[in-house]
Amino acid sequence: EDQVTQSPEALRLQEGESSSLNCSYTVSGLRGLFWYRQDPGKGPEFLFTLYSAGEEKEKERLKATLTKKESFLHITAPKPEDSATYLCAVQAPGGNQFYFGTGTSLTVIP
Amino acid sequence: KAGVTQTPRYLIKTRGQQVTLSCSPISGHRSVSWYQQTPGQGLQFLFEYFSETQRNKGNFPGRFSGRQFSNSRSEMNVSTLELGDSALYLCASSSSSENSPLHFGNGTRLTVT
What pLDDT, in 10s, does the model give residues B24-39?
Answer: 999 999 999 999 999 8
Instruction: Inform me whether the C-beta atom of residue A46 falls under 8 Å from chain B C-beta atoms.
Output: yes
| pLDDT tens digit sequence for B10-20 | 999 999 999 99
- HEC profile of chain A: CCEEEEECCEEEEECCCCEEEEEEEECCCCCCEEEEEECCCCCCEEEEEECCCCCEEEECCEEEEECCCEEEEEECCCCHHHCEEEEEEEECCCCCCEEECCCEEEEEEC
Q: What is the pLDDT of residue A93?
A: 77
Give me chain A's average pLDDT, please: 94
Which of A9, A86, A97 should one mutate to test binding to chain B, selecting the residue with the greatest count of B CBs within 10 A?
A: A97
pLDDT averages per 10-residue partition of chain B, 113 residues = 92 98 96 94 94 92 97 97 97 87 97 98
Got the DSSP string for chain B? ----EEE-SEEEE-TT--EEEEEEPPTT--EEEEEEEETTTEEEEEEEEETTEEEEE-S--TTEEEEE-TTS-EEEEE-S--GGG-EEEEEEEE-SSTTPPPEE---EEEEE-
Give me chain B's average pLDDT, please: 95
From the list B16, B1, B8, the residue with the least C-alpha distance to B103 is B1
Instruction: Inform me whether the C-beta atom of residue A51 falls under 8 Å from chain B C-beta atoms.
Output: yes
Q: What is the pLDDT of residue A2?
A: 65
Contact A46 B43 (CB under 8 A): no
Interface residues of B toward A, Cβ cutoff 8 Å, are 4, 31, 33, 35, 41-43, 45, 48, 50, 55-56, 58, 90, 92, 94, 98-99, 101-107
Q: What is the pLDDT of residue A106?
A: 98
Distance CA A16, CA A76 (A): 7
What are the φ/ψ torsions at residue A52 (nearest 5 degrees)? -145, 155
Burial of A57 (0-12, 13-18, 19+ CB in 10 A): middle
